Amino acid sequence: MSMPSVSEDKGEQKMELWFTERQTPDVGLTCRLTETLRFERTKYQELAIHQTKQFGRMLILDGTVQTTEFDEFFYHEMMAHPALFAHSDPRRVLIIGGGDGGVVREVVKHDSVESVELVEIDERVVAAGREFFPTISCGLTDPRVKVIIGDGIEHVRSAEGAYDVVIVDSTDPVGPAVGLFAVEFYRAVNRALRAGGILVAQTESPLFNRDILSHAVRSIRQAFANTRLYLGPVPTYPSGYWSYTMGLKSDVDPAQIIGDKPCPFATKYYTPEIGRAAFALPPFVRDLIS
């Protein structure tokens, strides 16, 4: 949602354009725009790319902020590195969603990874990422990466024992992403993972999306005996406080493994210490998922 406003500049009126994401019925994120770079209705959703003063370029799907140049590293690093470091030998990785390429960029930093499949249902998201977010989508050119335009749910159903790590970088559970929060999907991911495999999914805000989070964790627990939630900041996401949930096909403690592994490449947010601490949950979150 964009809305114009009028401000005073040395006695003259000047029109300003602002974008507001209604994160709840009572809370919104509002920022000033300098330019709209792209606006289109794809086969699946409304896609917009705005140039903002505070966050740089911003990708918006159906009125919801997906990523920005300013703070994308928080989310993409925490989606990728905890699971990749928790796995003993991650070679084949599947990413569902995340057509902007940010998670891919982080995954290919791991030398053990031999192949990455990115399954994105909306080809226009991939195209927009390549065109407008080169620092985010740069990993898509890595020779280990294969981009597949298709339905991630159907893709997982047809893959048994194929992957070491599956990362579900979904939008909110509306429209084409609804099925990515279902028990049946998580069970299919379990079958698609090799022995010792790991699922990680974004599971929304523990403050503003409590029902979605608790439902997602309950669903993942029905598919994986070892399920662990961890937290991290994402300034432009609802409440700025985000959750991720792992399902593991082993009985390992990911926090302990992560904390003992050094990070051999450059990051902006993730460190082994931050990775371990992310699994330390405050009481209100433990109560929410108990």
Nearest Cα residue to 46 out of 31, 36, 33: 36
Identified catalytic residue from 71, 122, 164, 169:
169
Q: Cα(243)–Cα(253) distance, rounded to whole angstroms?
A: 18
Q: In terms of C-beta density within 10 A (0-12 exposed, 13-18 middle, 19 or more buried), how is residue 166 classed?
A: buried
DSSP 8-state symbol, 238: G
Is residue 169 among the annotated active site residues?
yes
- Residues listed for the chain: 290
Q: Quote the tokens at residue 119.
A: 């399954």
In angstroms, the CA 93 to CA 118 distance is 9
4-27 core/surface letters (b: 16 or more CB in 10 A; e: else): eeeeeeeeeeeeeeebebebeeee
Q: Kind of pairing, strands 163-169 and 2-9?
A: unpaired
CB 147 within 8 A of CB 118: yes
Contact 143, 53 (CB under 8 A): no
Burial of 146 (0-12, 13-18, 19+ CB in 10 A): exposed
The residue ranges of DSSP E strands in 46-114, in sequence order, are: 46-52, 56-61, 64-68, 92-97
- From residue 197, give the alpha-carbon distance in Å to each of 1, 40, 114, 185, 215: 40, 38, 15, 16, 22
User: Which residues are annotated as catalytic?
Assistant: 169
